[in-house]
Structure 1
């Protein structure tokens, strides 16, 4: 009788599921989703400097600012495309990020790299041709800084906060550079520390919500303490309020010629807005800044009152 040879069962190899081929017609939609249209509202900050200088409604300004908005949006989209292409493999293992178009296979990685690279090159070139060299340099610096953030800087303590804050500050300065408007020190201080306030408040909220869940979100959050992030957003809020107050009360400012001292009165609305935003920061529910502002009626109303007071001050009514 022949001897039976038993072969040990082979354990099948685990294969990482390959992303499906992109469907016809879905590639453009995937590229658009990867460009994060919801984040484009941040680029409205390009009107900040012209509005502060009272140049928002002058002839040709809105057309120029629309171009600046489009160019900045193209640069931001380039960064998102490159970031998602670079992180595609890691995103596929994430419960939420695996639905991103690049990770899901709707947009092939080489296509995302190519589209991102094309936008990163074309936007500054168009800015140099259609606007000013200063804006072209700003956009080039923005793209370079954000790509460095994607590759390395987002893993460096404190530097990650500075880079994201600088991105907001660059948006606010872009309109002024395109129109040749001088940027005052008070504008830069208030805008910069106001941005740091919102960025660090968002990080603090993420840290609070993800406490004890290491690995679910960005790893750097585990290296920050909630106490430190609370200190940062409180410090930034204080400096932003101080800078705004010094601007509103400085003796060398434009003389009061209207019915009321609108510029000084706008301090009240600005402080109330900061205090209202701090409520969400303290609760650990301060997510994306635009969602916080638009999602809270009281904060939106305070913002409209501040905008009206500031507009009256600029118009010298």
Structure 2
């Protein structure tokens, strides 16, 4: 059983917390009904994203075998057969889409778009320079939109832009880390890495990092009648710079999830951001 749970990559579910974006930035997180809907939407994304990971593992079987870490994954290591992996993937898709259909027809549409986007990514776009990372960023935007749809909250354009650029930042940092760590074996693992260079990725990462800070700042300035939310800018700036430090000095950029879950600096920063944002939202109109 453990090998099938491992195949779902539950550690990667942290990415689906973007679904909570809309409810966090509204006062609806105090409403049980709204919170329940968002939790179910989160679980739906967890299941559909796990199905996508299984599809990727099947498609990238040979490349994963030469990767120092990915070769230990259930399919690449031979612990789970391709047949059983496909069965698990289908079950996850059915449960996810059924839950979405029960919640909100628009959530169902978003999940279908998310899955189709990932199918296109897996079989085509992942081999196209720049579009590979942009495709991943679209997945994060769909998560945020889904969180707003299920509780009928209109999202600020600045939050959408902020989500886009922070996901681009994580994506380009991951590509750079793969180039650094895999060196001569980089293209054996991911052919698209032959079209990138560390300098190019470093330059573009710096640009999107700066844009993320700008768009979040604009959100905190324009989205509320008060300006107290601008206090939270310091946590966003520190978090981005801390992640940049981890990828450049500690070589943790290959797994954004690992960096977020294991680094005390980022964990404390996220907690303080959440507490500060909640207090400001609750105490202001």
> TM-score if structure 2 supplies the norm length?
0.89
* Residue in structure 2 matched with residue 277 of structure 1 by the alignment: 243
| d(CA) in 2 for partners of 1:95, 1:296 | 22
Asked whether the equivalents of residues 177 and 247 of structure 2 are also in contact (C-alpha less than 8 Å), the reply is yes
Asked whether the equivalents of residues 280 and 286 of structure 1 are also in contact (C-alpha less than 8 Å), the reply is yes
| d(CA) in 2 for partners of 1:286, 1:64 | 33
Which shifted more, 160-169 or 284-293?
284-293
| d(CA) in 2 for partners of 1:175, 1:233 | 27
| d(CA) in 2 for partners of 1:222, 1:215 | 6
> Structure 1's 227 and 181: CA in aligned 2 closer, same or farther, altered over 3 A?
same
* Residue in structure 2 matched with residue 232 of structure 1 by the alignment: 204
Which shifted more, 71-80 or 87-96?
87-96
* Residue in structure 2 matched with residue 219 of structure 1 by the alignment: 191
| d(CA) in 1 for partners of 2:68, 2:247 | 26
CA shift at 1:285, angstroms? 3.5
Asked whether the equivalents of residues 124 and 137 of structure 1 are also in contact (C-alpha less than 8 Å), the reply is no
- CA-atom RMSD, angstroms? 2.2
Between structures 1 and 2, the one with greater helix share: 2
The count of aligned residue pairs is: 283
Gap regions ≥5 residues in structure 1: 1-27
Superposed, which structure 2 residues align to 1:262-273 within 5 Å? 262-273=228-239
> TM-score if structure 1 supplies the norm length?
0.81
Give the number of the structure with larger relative contact order, counting CA–CA contacts within 8 Å between residues 6 or more apart. Answer: 2
Asked whether the equivalents of residues 252 and 258 of structure 2 are also in contact (C-alpha less than 8 Å), the reply is no
CA shift at 1:91, angstroms? 4.3
| d(CA) in 2 for partners of 1:95, 1:268 | 36
> Structure 1's 236 and 78: CA in aligned 2 closer, same or farther, altered over 3 A?
same
Gap regions ≥5 residues in structure 2: none
CA shift at 1:50, angstroms? 0.9
| d(CA) in 2 for partners of 1:135, 1:93 | 38
